[in-house]
Amino acid sequence: MSRKNSAPAVGPKVAVVGAGSWGTTFGKILADGGASVVMWARRPELAAEITESKRNSRYLSGINLPRTMTATTDLAEALRDAEQIYLSVPSQSLRENLAAIKPYVERTDVPIVSLMKGVEKSTGLRMSQVIEQVLQCDPARIAVASGPNLALEIAREQPTAAVISSLSPETAEAVARRARNRYFRSFVNTDVIGTEFGGVLKNLIAVAIGIVDGVGYGENTKASIITRGLVEMTDFAVAQGAQPETLQGLAGLGDLIATCQSPLSRNNTAGRLLGQGYGYKEVVAQMQQTAEGLASVAPVLQLAKQVGVDMPIVQQVKMVLDGTMDPRDIAPHLTTDDDQPQGERTQNDQTGGGGALRRALQRALDQFRHGGRGAAGDRP
Ligand SMILES: NC(=O)c1ccc[n+]([C@@H]2O[C@H](COP(=O)([O-])OP(=O)(O)OC[C@H]3O[C@@H](n4cnc5c(N)ncnc54)[C@H](O)[C@@H]3O)[C@@H](O)[C@H]2O)c1
Ligand SMILES: O=P(O)(O)OC[C@H](O)CO
């Protein structure tokens, strides 16, 4: 662990591509868990600072990085002989980065782990789908990490949990064993769709909560939007093939709470600026770091339309971003909705006994497939 002064043992090498706030924090998690971590950074001065000063002053001010963490701008050097590869670049740049990574990983079967929480704007694909498409690799090799994971809190070693998801329980477990230490606990599941969409969708609700903050509304409005936001997240994710339980777990409710509550959240911050009256371009110009929610709004609404799911809160975020709605009109429902009372539960529950029965059957089938271990829900 980084607190100890004795020379650290050299553990298995892992690589982290992307040295922003989350990539660097995840590198620290892995190094504090015993791995020897090599980061790939775009800028030579950042790579040098991480290697020589054990600092990343732009993204993680005041944090000391472990001695077993180094960085390079040479992708081949970063990836060579890595036991696992973690990816943490902005979602809209993943495809171009994968093209550069591909020659170094196509003759290996090392796990590739997405740490990202966005969808590709041009295709609507989740990050694991982009990885599978570009690397043309076995999806069982791919894992995703998600959960209530505000980088700076974890870099300060505050106790936190995450979930590692892969279609392959073995891959999820191998990654979870590596990505854990005394302040960071990784759970596992096999619901990649739910885990990834949880991370994408909570960003959109956090933008809405930021708008509420910026406008100056209080806790009732926020609680109403968070609660209805979780319903929207669940309806959408289940329609895409997710297990509803995942949205009640770390990657759904857990991350929704953290991101909506924290001023550290970039999505929340972007929303607050919108609520204060700044336009989309001004907000983008003011943001020093990646706020994934801004790029995910349009593709998420497009996907929602394809499967017939209503997302009134996400729709309002889009209207504020487009400048077609006054932020002060934000509400847990669309004010243009007709006045018919709606049921409170999710669309999934509103299918009545059928929904519950379907889930029970699915769980039984998953348990059968996974040798008695349930697929849904975060497992230690
Ligand atoms: N910061 C967090 O608390 C946190 C937590 C969990 C997940 N995430 C997710 O991690 C991902 C990365 O976010 P972050 O917080 O590290 O962002 P960041 O803005 O802190 O850092 C992004 C990094 O990517 C680099 N970068 C920018 N454009 C690039 C390009 N075209 N190619 C390669 N590198 C490029 C930047 O130089 C920087 O090093 C996002 O999907 C985010 O949602 C972030
Ligand atoms: O700063 P944000 O809004 O990108 O959120 C960071 C993490 O995703 C929180 O889990």
Domain boundaries, the chain: 13-190, 200-365
Burial class of residue 224 (count of CB atoms within 10 Å of its CB; 0-12, 13-18, 19+) = middle
CATH code of the domain made up of 200-365? 1.10.1040.10
Return per-residue pLDDT of the chain as tens, 380 residues. Answer: 444 445 556 799 999 999 999 999 999 999 999 999 999 999 999 999 999 999 999 999 999 999 999 999 999 999 999 999 999 999 999 999 999 999 999 989 999 999 999 999 999 999 999 999 999 999 999 999 999 999 999 999 999 999 999 999 999 999 999 999 999 999 999 999 999 999 999 999 999 999 999 999 999 999 999 999 999 999 999 999 999 999 999 999 999 999 999 999 999 999 999 999 999 999 999 998 999 999 999 999 999 999 999 999 999 999 999 999 999 999 998 766 666 787 887 766 654 444 545 555 565 565 555 554 444 577 77
Domain 13-190 class? alpha beta
pTM: 0.92
Tell me how far the alpha carbon of residue 293 lies from the centroid of ligand 2, in angstroms: 10
Cβ 150 under 6 angstroms from ligand 2: yes
pLDDT at res. 9: 62
pLDDT at res. 3: 47
pLDDT at res. 365: 60
Probe residue for ligand 2, chosen from 59, 197, 255, 259 as the CB with the greatest number of ligand atoms within 8 Å:
259
pLDDT at res. 251: 98
The pair phi, psi for residue 35, each rounded to 5°, is -85, 160
C-alpha 151/C-alpha 76 separation (Å) is: 27
Cβ 316 under 6 angstroms from ligand 2: no
Tell me how far the alpha carbon of residue 103 lies from the centroid of ligand 2, in angstroms: 31
C-alpha 25/C-alpha 56 separation (Å) is: 10
Q: Which of 28, 117, 202, 222 is catalytic?
A: 202
Tell me how far the alpha carbon of residue 268 lies from the centroid of ligand 1, in angstroms: 16
pLDDT at res. 201: 98
Neighbours of 373 (CB within 10 A): 12
pLDDT at res. 359: 53
- Residues enclosing ligand 1, CB less than 6 A? 18-23, 42, 59, 88-91, 93, 97, 115-118, 149-151, 289-290, 292
The pair phi, psi for residue 113, each rounded to 5°, is -120, 120
* Catalytic (active site) residue 4: no
Cβ 202 under 6 angstroms from ligand 2: no
Give the CA distances from residue 22 to residues 27, 111, 297, in Å, rounded to whole numbers and listed in that order: 8, 19, 21
